[in-house]
Amino acid sequence: MGLDEFDRIKKYFRPLASIERGSLNLLDDAAVLPVDDASKIVISTDALVEGIHFFGEDEVDLIAQKSLRTNLSDMAAMGATPWVYTLSLSLGPVIKGTLDQWLASFVKGLKKDQDKYDVGLIGGDSVASSGPTMISITILGRADPRGVITRNGASVYDDIYVSGTIGDSATGLNIIKEPIDDLAYSEELYLKGRYYLPDPRVKLGRGLVGIASAAMDVSDGLLQDLGHLCSASSLGAIVNWPLLPLSKGVQQLLHKKIIPTSLIVNGGDDYELLFTAPKRLRTEVKAIAKASDVVVTRIGHMITGSGVSLLDKSDRLINSIGTGFKHA
């Protein structure tokens, strides 16, 4: 087995990174490029590959929206305001309709979210390929004048929060692959929708600047991503399983043992915000969440040491939970 994404970055690409020019040592959701003494640009790139992050049978406008929203989520994690983006398309064989129809639907999806999030396309590239379609977006955002939120600012005893609910997207993907009969149709649609169309927490991220001590988005699984935050902050974390926010459908499937605990904490693609904040700022966090119209839940706290421990209702360690999604 070769190196995974994170080991490849550490071994091959981190030595090339320029910290002075804003790379943050390739440890964060985005780079921060100083423009002048008063302003900074936040930059991130994400790629979605057919067969891994989306499927050829999926609705094309939703594929486009998901491609843009995963990048918007990186802006949210840094507390930045999205501004412009570039798009690179490697177009493989089209399954649904003609290429013109595919592109028309794709552009329709992009336009919808450009209007929703006030972000615009400024360039890119498009090529044809015999392989799977790949969509790569580089997004630029404006940093808040007060600064950005990085992964390395957490302190011992800081609270750990997550926005929304977790495990929905991974559960939705499971249902898409293997339909089940143990769930109300409305709950099934909701879970599938969470996979097809994540909800980047841009407003919440901006509100947390100056409040959150560290943050990132949950893309590869709650425990794995929290592990990255812990590593960047040189700390460990305690997560209390009974506190994790779960949607009604996930709770039902978990209770019936149709899905395992590991799917919820390791499944990935949630694109919720995971952040830490000092205990003394609990009132402020609650107010920001309310103003952003997003539910946030306190799920644990930071500790000395390293790694993430998941505890049950009796504060016993839950073992054999595995790790999150690994990019090949």
Per residue in 203-252, pLDDT tens? 999 999 999 999 999 999 999 999 999 999 999 999 999 999 999 999 99
Rounded CA gap, 282 and 288, in Å? 10
* pTM for this prediction: 0.90
CATH architecture type of domain 159-311: Alpha-Beta Complex (3.90)
Structural element, H or E, at residue 283: helix 282-292
Structural element, H or E, at residue 282: helix 282-292
At 97, the pLDDT band (50, 70, 90 cuts) reads: confident
**CATH, range 5-142:** 3.30.1330.10
Q: Where are the domains of the chain?
A: 5-142, 159-311
The CA distances from residue 270 to 3, 121, 303, in Å, are: 24, 25, 25
Fold: same for 5-142 and 159-311: no
* Backbone phi and psi for residue 129, each to the nearest 5 degrees, phi listed first: -145, 155
For 255-265, write each residue's pLDDT tens digit: 999 999 999 99
214-217 sheet: strands from edge to edge: 214-217, 273-277, 159-163, 296-303, 236-240, 307-311
